[in-house]
Each structure stands twice: as structure tokens, then as C-alpha cells.
Amino acid sequence: MTAVEHCAVKITGSGEKTIVFLHGYGCDSGMWCKVAPAFENDFRVITYDLMGYGKSATEHYDPVRYASLDGHVDDLVAILDELRLKDVIAVGHSVSAMTIGLAAKRRPDLIDRLVMICPSPSYANDGDYVGGFEKQDLLGLLDILDVNYLGWARDMAPLIMGVPDRPALGEELTESFCQTDPDIARHFAKVTFLFDHREDVKMITQPTLVLQCRDDALVPPTVWTWLMDNMQNADHVILDATGHCPHVSYPEATTEALVEFVRPRVVS
Amino acid sequence: MTEAIAFGIDPDLWPCGLVVMNETGQIELTNATLREWLGIDPSDQCQSLRFVDVLSRAGRIYFETHLRPLLLMNGHFAEISIDIERSDGTRFGVFMNGRATLINGRMINAHFCVFKNEQRRSFERELVAKRRESDEFRSLVRSSPQAIVSVDRDLIIHAWNPAAEDLFGYTEAEAIGERFDSLLVTPEDQETMADDLLHIATGETLRSEAVQLHKDGRLLHVEKSIAAINDKTQEYSGFVAIFSDISARKASEAKIQVLLEEINHRSKNLLSVVQVIARQTWRLYKGADFFSAFNNRIASLTSNQDMLISSKGSNVDLESLAHAQFAHLIDPEDPQVVISGPAVHLSKSVTQAIGMAIFELVTNAAKYGALSKEAGAVTLSWKINDMPSPMLEMSWIETDGPPVIVPTRKGFGYQVTGPLLEGVTSGQTSREYATEGFRWTLKAPLDRLTQ
């Protein structure tokens, strides 16, 4: 099985240039449904489910491989290689902002521009660095995950994988949004919230758009400041939006900022 | 709330917390129940707070990564267990349902109702603790180097860990659902097992060494421990058996036993050899001469033993090897012993075995055979027979000794002059307890001896 199949890669739109969207922690590629279509006229648009989420081949979720973001970086690199793509624009939300950053560092030939939506290189406070959370808070998330399966039951797994030729499929998929194997959710929560990628983001040289929401419970302004001070080649845009998922709650504003960034630069 | 009151429904009377959140996440309305739980002034509608501000920090992450997207995509969520946090940092657990008012995919506001679930929460924590415990236990069983098998009261196997796969050769899929006794218990042990089960059912834990069957039919030496599993009503519902492989230990125990027998044999032999040396030396030497001759003979015995025992043997000529085996007993020119044969250069690997065999023959002859009498004689000779391929034919012939007695048991000496030697040299030995004297022969392919 290829990485393209593993991660349920969806290719839409057409254009010289490709944009690949990576969803963040919590849900799946359905998160992009209000933003990605806006790019289909001018770009080849790729969305996919991170391993363990959505319609990915969760039976291949290997806790060792995905014990750090490297496993997800491997997947992104493999997908782009399998599709023979170079110089794509990578858009990553939340934790996936770090995934695309790591991939851009490892394989500069694959990614020539990055968009990081609500990124935080490290959620845990550390000395002068204010990530917004104490380690204890972050571990508390694991307790919440332990008691909230969001309707997940192992019997439902086949439904979530999707069975073609079934009329009720669309409805089921909507219902399955955000449903994740609790063990995987717990594991990925650790990878997402307990790692420190501050040194990694300093190494990104490609032009990067950093989109933050003016009020995000997960990413305090101290983190914006840190990113502004430490990233080599980044534009920082603060959206007049609240929450951690502007592409879901404020799709127009998010799309507008993205369009502005990806539009071919015209020499004035 | 005015509208609601107009309908005769006063939200403040409801025994659950009610909250309305606006599009940006700010609190718009709360009811009195929630404000009371939060310890907030009844007149304060909390409009200065974001909804996430009344959640624990971990709860905020969960809300922003799961619940808000769910509201936006699905329009609702239900039965979420989450902590609400007061401004002083204290918390209480609630169940929460949420519903969004969506217009064109845009969330205008969201309504939440929360139910305190402190009591259920402790039960929930217990469940989580149990789940973690059982996860830990499962990984403990899976990673155990000991084979762990759980069996129900009808002897059907229910659990079979990877170590059991390794030990018994059946995969988990093959073993589960099969009968424990037909898979692992030898026919001889079936009866004992029925008896054992009666003891186990009474709560006894059985620990013993046992022999179990491998998938391929061979027998495995194991150490087993079997204990009953009781259900919630303390009724016997089966047992769990733990096996560790002790075949290596058994093999080394057997090896030690052989070594002990060998040591015992050799020490007794050496002591009788020393007696023989003393007796024979006394025949020829007296006084100070006796001591020096005796010492010389003991020294030559020691050096020959060193050479034979040491595995670092060296290439040796057969004739000098043979002489060395007699050196402690008689002078090489003694007419009692004739050693003759063509030059054969023995390889390291066979030197020890042939030397030990000759030493054994010499010792026996000195203790019971021809060399125990003054008139007795021994001829050790060999030749090479080239047909069909070069063979060494060595013979030991005793004459004029005491009457020959056929030994009643085959001891270590028999091994050294028989099977062990045959194994090392790929040869054949024979022995004959003839009236005129004991005879022994070895025939072995020359290339095996001189390589």
C-alpha cells in the first residue's frame, strides 16, 4: 500500500502549482471543506487524513513510527514523492504546522512556501518561554480523552472507514467527523502537546505565512512574539478571529489571507 | 431571558447549568444555577468571560480542538465529560451537551447545558483506572518471557501470549478455543492433570516441574505454576498457567551429573593407579631410591593427565602417546609391555580421546589384568591396512594375567574405550574377555586421525 492510499489522499482542482493541506490535532481533512475548494480553480489541491484519523488506514498506525512527528513527516514526504510533486505550497494547521516545517527542512526541494495556521512550537511553559500551559494541564487532556470517546466504539470502525455504494454514506461520514480511535487520539495528543519544536522552526528558510487568531485559547500572544523573533523568513498575520480553528469558524478571512500569500507575486 | 420568562420558563429554576456563547466565544447568558456553581455574583451574567475561561486548561484544549469544530461541522455534541473551573482554581466535573445555531455554515451562537456529575465522576475515574490497569496488565502479559495461558472451567484456552507461541509452537489463533489438555498434556499425564485440577479448584497454587507437549510432538521440560481464576461470586471459573522453559537447565543438570560421575570414576581410578605404582615401585626400589622413583612416576602420571585433560592438545606421535600412558607404571623398556607400530602422527582432535582410552586400558590392566601380576604382559600394536582405504588397526592383547573376569556393568571406562572413542574417531571398537587374557581393538579411518 502506498502512502497516498494509507492517508486517503484526495486530489482536486488543477493548476501548475500544488497546495497540500494538513489538518491538525483532533479531527480530519474534513476541516478544510470550507477553505480548500476556493483554490481549485488555480491550483492542484491535495487534502489527506493524517495516519490514525479520518479515512486513513488506521490499522497501520504504528505507535513507534508515530511516536514523534517524524512519522507524519515521512508520510508527507512519501505522498509528495509518490505524486512526483516538487515546490508545493504546504498548509498546516496547529500541530501540522510543525509537520510541514520539519518536512520543509528535511526536503527543501518538495516545499517552497509554507502556511502555518495557529502554530505553536511548544505548548508547555519553559523558563522565559510562555507556551500557555503547564505540563500538568497538558497531561489533563489525556484524562479528558480517556472519558470522551465522542461516540467511538470499535464496532463502528468499519462504518468510519466508509463502505462505497451505500446511500447513507454521506450522512455517516458527517456523523463520523472527529471520531478517532481513543488509543490513537491519546497517543497523538502526547506527540502534539508534549513535544518542543522551537529549535526546528528556527531552521525553516522558505517563505512562511504565520496565521494566528487574535484570541486563541491554545496559542497566547507570547507565542506569536516568540515566532516573530525567531523565524527566519515569516510574515505574521493576526486574523480578527477567535478560537483555534479559523479555517472552520472564519473560512472567508482565512481563505483571504491564504490567497494573498499564494497569489503569484507581481513585480510592481 | 425575557422571552423565555414570557413563556413561563424561568431558566434560573432549572437544576442544570445553562450557557449561551456567541460567535466569538464570549459568554452571552448564564443561568443562576451555573453562576451559583461557579460562585459568581447572581447579578453578573459573566459576559466578560469567554466560554473557555470557565473550563479547566486541559478542557480548553479539548474544546478548541474537538468541540468547537464539532459544533461548526455537525452543529452539536453530547455527553461530554469535562471539568468546569472556578476563578479560584477549584473545579467540578460536568456532563455537557452543546448545540450551535448555524446560518450558512456560520455559527451565530451556541447553547450548552451542563449537569454536575461529581458522583458519577468518581465512578468514571474508577473505570478509567480499571481500563489503564487492564491495559498495563495486558502489556505485561504480552511482554512476559514466560508462557501464560488462561483456560476456562471446560479447559478451553482463552488467552495465549507470545511467549506461549514461542514455547509450544502454536500461534495465538491456533491455540485459542482449543482444549488445554489435548494441546499440551502428554497421554501419561492426563490422569494426574485431572487430579491437579481438583486441587487447583480449591484455591491451591500448583508449582512443579513438568513435561508438556510441543506442537511438533517433542517433549518440553518446563516449570509450571497453575492457579485458579474465580469469578465475582468466588466460583471457580478456570485457571491460569504459567510456564517457563527449563530444558536448558535440565540439559546442564544432566551434563553436571555426567561430569560428577566422570570425576568420581577418575579419582577412584587415579587412587588405585597410585596404589599400583607404589606396589610396583616397591618391588624394584627400596629406601631413598623408592622415594625418588615413586616421585618420578607420580610426576609422569600428573603430566600425562594434564595433557589428556587439557583440550588444547597438540599433534602427537601415536607411539609416544602410548608410551606416556605407561610411564607412571613401568619403565619403557620393561619386558612386560610391548608397544609397536608404524609412525602415525595424530591430529589434535583425536589425541586426547586415544590417550584416554589407552590410559583406561593401562589402569584396568594394572588393577585387575595382566599388569597386576609380575608375569603378565601387554602388547599394544597397530598397523595400517590400506584396503580399501587406509585404516588404523590397533590391538591391545593381555597375556599371563590372572583369570579374566567379565565385568557386570558398563561404567565410564567402557564409555572412554568404546562409544566416546568411536564417536571421535569414526571408528569401531571391540573387546573380548578371552581366557588367556583381555583383548581390545580399534579400527578407524586413518584420515580421521591424522587430519
B52, B58, B80: residue with CB nearest A143: B58
Class of domain B257-450: alpha beta
What pLDDT score was predicted for residue B18? Answer: 95
- Asked if A141's CB is within 8 angstroms of B82's CB, the reply is no
Residue A141 in contact with partner chain B when CB distance is under 8 A: yes
- Asked if A27's CB is within 8 angstroms of B25's CB, the reply is no
- Asked if A148's CB is within 8 angstroms of B62's CB, the reply is yes
- Asked if A144's CB is within 8 angstroms of B62's CB, the reply is yes
Cα distances from A144 to residues A189, B59, B95, B223, in angstroms, run: 11, 7, 12, 44
Nearest residue of A to residue B26 by CA position?
A: A242
Which cell numbers in the block locate residue B177?
478455543
- Whether A244 is a known active-site residue: answer yes
Closest chain A C-alpha to B21 CA, distance in angstroms: 12
Distance CA B25, CA A117 (A): 19
Domain parsing of chain B, residue ranges:
2-122, 144-245, 257-450
Contacts of B258 (CB under 8 A, 6+ apart): none
- Asked if A243's CB is within 8 angstroms of B68's CB, the reply is yes
Residues of A in contact with B64 (CB under 8 A): 216-218, 243-245
Sign of the C-alpha dihedral computed for residues B192, B196, B199 and B202 taken in this order: negative
Share of chain B above pLDDT 70, in %: 95
- Whether A94 is a known active-site residue: answer yes
Highest mean pLDDT among A27-31, A65-69, B296-300: A65-69
What pLDDT score was predicted for residue A134? Answer: 92
A147, A174, A218: residue with CB nearest B61: A218
Residue A215 in contact with partner chain B when CB distance is under 8 A: yes
Q: Do strands B236-245 and B147-152 pair parallel, antiparallel, or not at all (unpaired)?
A: antiparallel
- Under the banding of pLDDT at 50, 70 and 90, the label for residue B3 is low
- Asked if A217's CB is within 8 angstroms of B50's CB, the reply is yes
Closest chain A C-alpha to B74 CA, distance in angstroms: 7
Query: Cα-atom radius of gyration of chain B, to the nearest Å?
Result: 45
- Asked if A174's CB is within 8 angstroms of B74's CB, the reply is yes
Residue A64 in contact with partner chain B when CB distance is under 8 A: no
Complex prediction ipTM = 0.87
- Under the banding of pLDDT at 50, 70 and 90, the label for residue B166 is very high
Residue A246 in contact with partner chain B when CB distance is under 8 A: no
CATH classification number, B144-245, choose in 3.40.50.150, 3.90.700.10, 3.40.50.1000, 3.30.450.20: 3.30.450.20
Residues of B in contact with A30 (CB under 8 A): 73
- Asked if A94's CB is within 8 angstroms of B73's CB, the reply is no
Secondary structure of residue A21 in the 3-state scheme: strand
Least confident residue range of A253-257, A262-266, B96-100, B385-389? A262-266
Fold: same for B144-245 and B257-450: no
- Whether A215 is a known active-site residue: answer no
CA A152 centroid distance within chain? 22
Per the residue annotation, which of A94, A96, A120, A176 is the catalytic one?
A: A94
Alpha-carbon torsion, ordered A30, A32, A36, A37, to 10 deg: 50
What pLDDT score was predicted for residue A52? Answer: 92
Q: Compute the average pLDDT of residues A106-114.
A: 96
Domains and CATH numbers, chain A: 3-121+197-262 (3.40.50.1820)
B56, B66, B128: residue with CB nearest A150: B66
- Under the banding of pLDDT at 50, 70 and 90, the label for residue B421 is confident
- Average pLDDT for chain A: 87
Which cell numbers in the block locate residue A245?
480553528
Classify residue B435 by its DSSP letter.
T
Residues of A in contact with B132 (CB under 8 A): 146
Distance CA A181, CA A175 (A): 15
Q: Which CATH architecture has domain B2-122?
A: 2-Layer Sandwich (3.30)
Closest chain B C-alpha to A220 CA, distance in angstroms: 12
Nearest to B80 by CA among A249, A146, A173: A146
Condensed to tens digits (0 to 9), the pLDDT of residues A152-198 reads 544 443 343 434 344 343 344 444 567 788 889 889 999 999 999 99
- Average pLDDT for chain B: 86
Q: Compute the average pLDDT of residues B54-81.
A: 91
- Asked if A216's CB is within 8 angstroms of B64's CB, the reply is yes
Residues of A in contact with B74 (CB under 8 A): 174-175, 177-178
